A and B are shown apart, each in its own frame.
Chain A
Amino acid sequence: TQLLEQSPQFLSIQEGENLTVYCNSSSVFSSLQWYRQEPGEGPVLLVTVVTGGEVKKLKRLTFQFGDARKDSSLHITAAQPGDTGLYLCAVREPNSNSGYALNFGKGTSLLVTP
């Protein structure tokens, strides 16, 4: 099981600020996913990155996959209260019966106040 370390663990900012959260491992990933989980809901997939150095944009969110495919970052520009939630990174790992399981990091809990 690959250990995913996310930082920071908690982040509280005001509306309009920029922020970056990180997902790191000592292992190389074939791909990595970012999810957002709002309070009282299940995680929702934001993006999948597969190529080292890849950058993907989703409105005000920018996702980057490290060149060595060991780390990833999520940058939010001009944060809004609707961005509040738990941001999780996850990697797929083969399991015992030709399937795949998602291995999640502990997440970064983001609070954006008006």
Chain B
Amino acid sequence: EAGVAQSPRYKIIEKRQSVAFWCNPISGHATLYWYQQILGQGPKLLIQFQNNGVVDDSQLPKDRFSAERLKGVDSTLKIQPAKLEDSAVYLCASSLGRITYEQYFGPGTRLTVT
């Protein structure tokens, strides 16, 4: 079974530029999550999708971050414009359903904003 795929693995941009990350969850998983992991901290949930609908985006900085999952499969997370404090690893995870215990994580995208 293929795992959660993410691209790119690394990205370096200057502040005020925009960037997009892509995630393809495990086939059949209805729930998709985006997490932000700042160095030295645990992952923090940014947004949760159930199929193509948003379940929770309460911690997403909506003035600069956006995410979509139009067809209920893969997802894109965008930052526009980026700030220095956005430097982090962005992790995508998926689970069978929104009450399922186990989440499967992708390898993450390491973003450096200079």
Interface residues, chain A, CB within 8 Å of chain B?
Answer: 4, 31, 33, 40-45, 48, 88, 90, 92, 95-107
- Which one of B41, B42, B44, B56 lies within 8 Å of A99 (CB-CB)? B56
Q: With A96-B56, A99-B48, A101-B56 known to touch, is A43 a contact of B43 (CB < 8 Å)?
A: yes
Shortest Cβ gap from B29 to chain A (Å): 14
Interfacial chain B residues near A106, Cβ < 8 Å:
40-42
CA distance A45 to B45 in the complex (A): 16
Kindly list 18 other residue pairs between chains A and B, CB separation below 8 angstroms, not including A4-B42, A95-B55.
A40-B108, A42-B93, A42-B108, A43-B43, A43-B91, A45-B103, A48-B102, A95-B48, A96-B58, A99-B31, A99-B50, A99-B55, A100-B99, A101-B56, A102-B43, A102-B103, A103-B45, A104-B44
Interfacial chain B residues near A44, Cβ < 8 Å:
105
Interfacial chain B residues near A31, Cβ < 8 Å:
101
Interfacial chain B residues near A102, Cβ < 8 Å:
43, 45, 103
23 interchain pairs (CB within 8 A)?
A40-B107, A40-B108, A42-B4, A42-B105, A42-B108, A43-B91, A43-B105, A45-B102, A45-B103, A48-B101, A95-B55, A96-B55, A96-B56, A97-B56, A99-B56, A99-B98, A99-B99, A100-B99, A101-B48, A102-B45, A103-B45, A106-B41, A106-B42
Tally B residues with Cβ within 8 Å of A. Answer: 26
User: Using a CB-CB cutoff of 8 Å, which residues 56-114 of chain B contact chain A?
Assistant: 56, 58, 91, 93, 98-99, 101-103, 105-108
Question: B10: nearest residue on chain A (CB-CB)?
Answer: A40
A41 touches B103 (CB 8 A): no
Shortest Cβ gap from B21 to chain A (Å): 13
Question: A35: nearest residue on chain B (CB-CB)?
Answer: B105
Shortest Cβ gap from B98 to chain A (Å): 4
Question: A4: nearest residue on chain B (CB-CB)?
Answer: B42
- Which one of B48, B91, B99, B102 lies within 8 Å of A42 (CB-CB)? B91
Shortest Cβ gap from A53 to chain B (Å): 20
Q: With A95-B48, A97-B55, A101-B56 known to touch, is A90 a contact of B42 (CB < 8 Å)?
A: yes
